[in-house]
């Protein structure tokens, strides 16, 4: 087990090193002639107006909130799924109560229109 995660560590080193090495290739092979016009932001030929890094619409934030709730739920659900055949009726019923509580929250988010794209 620990041995396998050592292998993942080696894999991580490779995964970091390989793209870096690959990006060295165009340094050698490709031309590099930066020009003021070439480095401007692409916007179909127009000059870009205003800033890009602005506040974004809050819809995305609502989705992120609901996502967080369900993502945390998966953290509970996965260990439960792993052992629920051994734990018997108690764990079975308890997890369904847990899911129902979450579904109530989900229903509320749905009713309040958090899931509508505007």
Partner 1 sequence: MDALNQLPLNIAATIRSLFGDSHSIWADLTMNVINIILVIVLIVLAALILILLERKIAGWTSQRPGPNRLGPHGWFQTIADALKLLGKEDVTPAGADKFIFKIAPMILFALPMMTLAVIPYGKGMSPIDLDLGIVYFLAISAVSTLSLLMAGWSSNNKYSMLGGMRAVAQMISYEIPLIFSLLGVVMITQTFSLSKIVEAQSTVPFVVLQPLAFVIYLIAGIAEVNRAPFDLVEADQEVVAGPFTEYTGLRWGLFFLGEYGNMTAVAALTTTVFLGGWQGPAILPGYAWFFLKVGIIIFFQMWVRWTFPRIRIDHLMGLAWKVLLPLSILNILLTGLGIYIYDLVLRIGG
- Find the shortest distance in angstroms from Cβ 73 to partner 1: 9
Residue 90 sits in the site that holds partner 1 (CB under 8 A): no
Number of residues that bind partner 1 (CB under 8 A): 66
**Alpha carbons 84 and 90: distance in angstroms, whole number:** 9
Residue 53 sits in the site that holds partner 1 (CB under 8 A): yes
The only residue of 72, 101, 103, 104 in contact with partner 1, by rule CB under 8 A: 103
Select 34 or 108, whichever has its Cβ closest to partner 1: 34
The only residue of 45, 47, 56, 113 in contact with partner 1, by rule CB under 8 A: 56
Residue 97 sits in the site that holds partner 1 (CB under 8 A): no
**Alpha carbons 78 and 34: distance in angstroms, whole number:** 51
HSE of 92 in the Cβ direction (CA atoms, 13 Å)? 5
Which of 55, 71, 57, 61 minimizes the C-alpha distance to 114?
61
**Alpha carbons 32 and 50: distance in angstroms, whole number:** 29
The encoded tokens of residue 90 equal: 């108690």
Residue 76 sits in the site that holds partner 1 (CB under 8 A): no
């Amino acid at each position: 087990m620990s041995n396998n995660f050592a292998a993942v560590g080696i894999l991580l080193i490779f995964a970091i090193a390989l793209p870096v090495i690959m990006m060295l290739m165009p340094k050698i092979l490709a031309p590099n002639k930066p020009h003021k016009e070439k480095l401007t932001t692409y916007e179909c030929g127009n000059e870009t107006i205003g800033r890009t890094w602005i506040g974004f619409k809050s819809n995305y934030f609502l989705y992120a909130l609901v996502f967080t709730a369900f993502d945390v739920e998966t953290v509970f659900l996965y260990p439960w799924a792993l052992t629920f055949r051994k734990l018997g009726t108690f764990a079975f019923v308890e997890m369904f109560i847990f899911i129902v509580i979450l579904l109530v929250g989900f229903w509320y988010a749905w009713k309040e229109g958090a899931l509508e794209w505007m």
